[in-house]
Amino acid sequence: MFNVSKKSMQWGDETLTLETGKVARQADGSVIATLGETSVMANVTFAKEPKPGQDFFPLTVHYQEKYYAAGKVPGGFFKREARPTEKETLTSRLIDRPIRPLFVSGFKHEVLVICTVLSHDLVNDPDIVAMIAASAALTISGAPFLGPIAAARVGFSNGNYVLNPDVADMDQLRNNPEQRLDLVVAGTKDAVMMVESEAYELSEDEMLGAVTFAHEQIQPVIDLIVDLAEDAAKEPFDFQPPEYGALYETVRAAGEDKMRAAYGITDKQQRVAAVSAAREDIRAGLTEEQLEDPNLGSALKKLESAVLRGDVVRNGRRIDGRALDEVRPIVSETGFLPRTHGSALFTRGETQALVVSTLGTGEDEQIIDALHANYRSNFLLHYNFPPYSVGEVGRFGPPGRREIGHGKLAWRALQAVLPAATDFPYTIRLVSEITESNGSSSMASVCGGSLSMMDAGVPLKAPVAGVAMGLVLEDDGEYAILTDILGDEDHLGDMDFKVAGTESGITSLQMDIKVAGITPEIMKAALAQAKAGRMHILGEMAKALTEAQDFSVHAPRIETMQVPTDKIREVIGSGGKVIREIVEVSGAKVDINDDGIVKIASPNGEAIKKAYDMIYSIVAEPEEGKVYKGKVVKIVDFGAFVNFFGKRDGLVHVSQIENRRLNHPSDVLKEGQEVWVKLLGFDDRGKVRLSMKMIDQETGEETKSEETAE
C-alpha cells in the first residue's frame, strides 16, 4: 500500500531522518523530517498552469505549530490554534527567503508550502527541521526548484561554534551570558542563501566564521536530501523558461535612453513618476501583439535592472548620485513628543522613523505561549509601515508578515544592549512608526529605537546603529558593494544584508542572497564596508544624544526589593487581600514573582516608600535591642500587648511600663494608645518581650537610666 523511502544520518549529537511515501500522498511532495524527537511534515503543491496575466511568482509558505506536538493544550478561550503566532510568522519567512530565489526564472505558477510541527522534544528547535523538510519536499515534488537547500543553527560559546544548540540554550539569550550568538544559515551545496542572527557584539570575523561553519555543517544534509530524491523524486515538471529576447531588444531600443534619464533623477517621487512615464512611452511604441505578450512586464524589469546595475558596476554611479560607500544625510532628534516617556525622530535621506518608548511595570510584560514553554518578555518592539510612508494608497490593517519580520530584526539588534532586569526593572515597549521609506526602514528603527530609549532614561550598554548594504554582481565576476541602499537598489540587486551593532561589535545580521557566487571574500569586504557605515551613523546619532537622559515625569518609578520566598504568601495574603490593601493604601503598583522579587512602581516617590515600608513590616524580623513605635492592642492584669512590627505583637510586662510600681497597667495605658517600645528579646516559648520604661515616650530615644530589665 505504501512505497516508503527513508534516509537517516548522524548530524551533530542527533539523528536526522527524512521519510516520504506514507503520509499525504496526494501532495506533489511530502516529507517528514525528524531530528531527535522533533518531527515536522512539509507538504508541497504547485499549480500546473500559471494564472493569465500574472506578473509575479506566487509562492506561499506556512509554518504551523500544533500544541499536541509538545503535549500541550492551547491557551485562550477557544482552546485551539488560531491566527499565526509571531514565531510561526517569522519561521514562515525564514523558510521562504532562501527557497524563493531558487525557482527557475520565469516560473510564475502558484506554489504552496505547508510545514506542520508534529512532535517537539523540547530540545531541537522545529524551525531548522521545517526548513530541511520543506527543501526535501520541494526537491522530490518535480517543481522547477534549483535546490536542495539545508539549514543549521549556530551558537557561539567560550570561543567555539556550536551546531544546533538546544532550545534551552537559545531561550532568552540576553539572560545567558555564556551564549553570545543565535545564528540561522540556509544554503545550497555551493552558496549561502540566507542568514538571520541575534548576537552579542561579535566581531565581523567571528560572524563570518559562524556563517562559514554553518555552511560546512549543512553539506551532509544536502547530500541526504539528494539521496532521498534519487529514490523518491517525481518526474520533473515540463517547464521551459519563456523566451523573450526579441521583445527585450525592442523594449531596450525604444526606451533605454528614457529609462536612463529617469534613473538619473535623485528625488524619489520625481524618479518614480519619470520611470512610470518611460514605461508608458515604451509601450506607446510597441505593436498590439507585443503589448499583449505576457513577458512584457519581465522585459521592462530587465531593462530597468540593466540600466541601474550597469551604471553602478561600470561607473560607480548610484541612482541618487552618491559614492558606493556613502551614507545619506542624517538628522537625529530626541524628545520629539512632549508627553511620551521617550521619543526620537530619525531621518536618513528619504527614510524616516518616529520611534516612541514607553516604560511599564511587571504587569505590562508580554506573556508568550510558546510550544516549548510559556515565558515573559519585558522588551517589546512593534513596527508599523503605513501606505503613506511610500506615498501610496493601499491596505491598512493589522501588521503583516513584513512588519513582524522587520520589527523582530530591530528587536534582535537592540535587546543585546539592554540593562539587566535586576538593574532596570521596567518593561520597555518601543513602537516604530515609519513615516517615510526609501530603503531600510528596519535599520532606521534600530537607530531611532536606540535614541528613543536613551531619551526615556534607559541605561543602554551602548548606542546601536544599523545600516542596509547591497551588492551588484555581474556575470564576469565584477561587483560593487553599496552602503545604505535605496529601495530600487534593494529590488534590483543581488544581495541585501543588514548589519546592526555598537562600536564594539555586531548585534544582528540579516542577509538574503539572490544568486550563487557570493564568495566569503565578497562577504568579508561587505561586512568591512558595513562597519565603516555603522561607525559613521553612530557618530551622527551622537550629535543628538550620547547618554541616557533623566526619567520623564510621566514615567513610573520602580523600586525592587527581595523578600524570602516563604514570606510571599504573607505579602499576598488570602485571596490577594494583603497586597490589594498595600496597593490601595499606598497608591503604588506592586508586583511580586515566584522568586520573591517585588517591584513597586509609581510616579510618586512617597507612594513607593509607603508600599515598601508596608511590605518590609510584613517580611522583616524584629531586631533585638531596637526601638519601635507601636500601638496598645490589649491590656491585661500583668501588662499590655503592643502591636509594634507589622502584625507582630509583644508583651510589655507591668514592671516594664514605668520606673515605678503600678497597681494596674490601665493606670497609665489605654487601648489604641501609641507608645515607644524596645525589643528585649524572646522567652523560652518564643514570645516577644518589650519594654517601655527604657524609652523616652516623648522622643522615642533611649533613656540613660542604668536600670535593667527584670
Distance of CA 585 to the CA centre of its chain: 38
For 106-156, write each residue's pLDDT tens digit. 899 999 999 999 999 999 999 999 999 999 999 999 999 998 999 999 999
Who wins on pLDDT, 196 or 626? 196
Give the C-alpha separation, 179 to 162, whole Å: 10
**Is the pLDDT score of 189 beyond 90?**
yes
Q: What is the rounded average pLDDT of the residues 53-59?
A: 86
| Those residues with Cβ within 8 angstroms of residue 256's Cβ, 6 or more apart along the chain or in another chain | 303, 307
Mean pLDDT estimate for the chain: 91
For 423-440, write each residue's pLDDT tens digit. 888 999 999 999 999 988
Give the C-alpha separation, 96 to 563, whole Å: 49
Give the C-alpha separation, 41 to 428, whole Å: 37
**Is the pLDDT score of 689 beyond 80?**
yes
DSSP one-letter code for 387: G
Is residue 164 within 8 Å of residue 124, measured between CB atoms?
A: yes
**Is the pLDDT score of 489 beyond 70?**
yes
Strand order in the sheet with 351-360: 330-334, 342-348, 351-360, 427-436, 379-384
Q: Is the peptide bond before 338 cis (omega within 30 degrees of 0)?
A: no
For 621-665, write each residue's pLDDT tens digit. 788 888 988 999 999 999 999 988 777 789 999 999 998 888 899
- Residue 458 in grid coordinates: 534607559
DSSP string, 402-440: HHHHHHHHHHHHHHTTPPPTTTS--EEEEEEEEEE-SS-
Q: What is the rounded average pLDDT of the residues 603-630?
A: 87
The pLDDT, as a whole number, for residue 502 is: 97
The pLDDT, as a whole number, for residue 394 is: 78
**Is the pLDDT score of 710 beyond 50?**
no
**Is the pLDDT score of 539 beyond 70?**
yes
CA 283-289-290 angle, 5° bins: 40
Percent of the chain with pLDDT over 70: 99
**Is the pLDDT score of 569 beyond 80?**
yes
| Those residues with Cβ within 8 angstroms of residue 151's Cβ, 6 or more apart along the chain or in another chain | 98, 128, 131, 132, 135, 184, 185, 186, 187, 218
**Is the pLDDT score of 552 beyond 90?**
no
The pLDDT, as a whole number, for residue 12 is: 92
**Is the pLDDT score of 706 beyond 60?**
no
**Is the pLDDT score of 37 beyond 60?**
yes
Give the torsion sign (CA, 78, 80, 82, 88).
Answer: positive
Q: Determine which of 287-301, 319-333, 454-468 has the lowest per-residue pLDDT on average.
A: 287-301
Is residue 466 within 8 Å of residue 300, measured between CB atoms?
A: no
**Is the pLDDT score of 708 beyond 50?**
no
For 386-436, write each residue's pLDDT tens digit. 999 988 887 788 889 999 999 999 999 999 999 988 888 899 999 999 999
The pLDDT, as a whole number, for residue 704 is: 65
Q: What is the rounded average pLDDT of the residues 211-217?
A: 96
The amino acid present at 298, given as its one-letter code, is S
Is residue 186 within 8 Å of residue 501, measured between CB atoms?
A: no
The pLDDT, as a whole number, for residue 308 is: 82
Give the C-alpha separation, 573 to 603, whole Å: 25
Q: What is the rounded average pLDDT of the residues 262-288?
A: 88
**Is the pLDDT score of 687 beyond 70?**
yes
The pLDDT, as a whole number, for residue 705 is: 52
- Residue 327 in grid coordinates: 551614507
For 79-89, write each residue's pLDDT tens digit. 888 889 999 99
- Residue 140 in grid coordinates: 522530490
User: Which residue from 537, 544, 540 is spatially nearest to 333, judged by alpha carbons?
Assistant: 544
The pLDDT, as a whole number, for residue 133 is: 98
The pLDDT, as a whole number, for residue 709 is: 42
The pLDDT, as a whole number, for residue 530 is: 96
